[in-house]
C-alpha cells in the first residue's frame, strides 16, 4: 500500500512541472513563430487542434486495446502456470489433446488482441503523420508561392530551401 501511495505522490510531484513546462514551451514556440513569419503561422497553427482531436479519438481505443491485450496475456500465462505443475497428471489422464486445444484458444485470443492493438496504434500513428504531412505541404506550398511571386525575402529558388530549413 505504501508503494502505491509513493508512486502516486511521485507522479503528482512530476506532473505539475511537466505541465507548466509544456504550456510555457507551447507559448514560446507559437510566439516565436508569429514573430518570424505571421502568415506561415496562420497557415500551420490551425492544424494543431487536429492533434488534440486525434488524441481524444484514439485515447479510449488505445487504452481498451492495451487492456484487452494485457488481460489475454494474463489468461494465457495463468493457464500455463496452472498446468505446469500438473503435466504428469495430464499425461496420466491422457488429456494432452484437450489441454493443448484449451491453450491454443487462449493463445489465439492473445494474438488477436495483440493484432487489434497494433492496428489501432498504426491508425493513430498514421493520423498523426497525416497532420504532420499536411503541415509540411502547407509550409512548402507557402514557400513555393513566395518564391514564384517574389516574396520580400525569398526572391530566388534557393529561398525555398532556406524557408524549409528554417521551419524544420
pLDDT in tens, 152-166: 554 454 555 555 555
Do 108 and 79 share a domain, yes or no?
Answer: yes
| pTM of the full structure | 0.63
> In sequence order, which ranges of the chain are alpha helices (DSSP H)?
2-36, 38-44, 48-84, 87-92, 96-149, 158-167
Taking alpha carbons only, the member of 55, 32, 58 closest to residue 44 is 32
Question: What is the model's pLDDT at position 155?
Answer: 47
Between CA 131 and CA 139, with CA 136 as vertex, the angle to 5 degrees is: 125
Which residues fall within 8 angstroms of residue 62, CB to CB, at 6 or more apart? 117, 120, 121, 124
**d(C-alpha 163, C-alpha 140), whole Å:** 8
**48 and 2 housed in the same domain:** no
pLDDT tens, position by position, 10-39: 767 777 788 888 888 888 888 887 887 788
pLDDT value at residue 65: 92
CA–CA gap between residue 34 and residue 65 (Å, rounded): 40
CATH of residue 98: 1.20.1560.10
The gap between the terminal CA atoms of the chain, to the nearest Å, is 47
Answer whether residue 90 shows pLDDT above 70.
no
Query: Are both 5 and 54 inside the same structural domain?
Result: no
Amino acid at each position: 500500500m505504501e508503494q502505491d501511495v509513493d508512486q502516486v505522490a511521485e507522479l503528482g510531484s512530476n506532473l505539475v512541472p511537466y505541465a507548466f513546462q509544456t504550456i510555457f514551451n507551447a507559448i514560446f514556440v507559437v510566439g516565436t513563430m508569429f514573430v518570424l513569419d505571421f502568415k506561415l503561422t496562420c497557415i500551420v497553427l490551425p492544424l494543431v487542434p487536429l492533434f488534440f482531436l486525434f488524441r481524444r479519438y484514439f485515447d479510449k481505443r488505445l487504452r481498451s486495446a492495451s487492456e484487452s491485450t494485457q488481460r489475454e496475456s494474463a489468461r494465457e500465462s495463468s493457464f500455463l502456470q496452472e498446468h505446469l505443475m500438473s503435466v504428469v497428471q495430464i499425461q496420466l489422464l491422457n488429456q494432452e489433446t484437450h489441454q493443448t486445444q484449451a491453450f491454443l484458444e487462449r493463445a489465439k485470443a492473445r494474438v488477436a488482441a495483440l493484432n487489434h492493438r497494433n492496428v489501432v496504434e498504426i491508425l493513430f500513428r498514421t493520423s498523426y503523420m497525416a497532420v504532420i504531412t499536411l503541415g509540411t505541404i502547407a509550409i512548402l506550398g507557402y514557400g513555393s508561392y513566395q518564391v514564384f511571386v517574389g516574396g520580400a525575402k525569398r526572391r530566388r529558388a534557393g529561398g525555398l530551401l532556406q524557408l524549409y530549413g528554417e521551419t524544420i
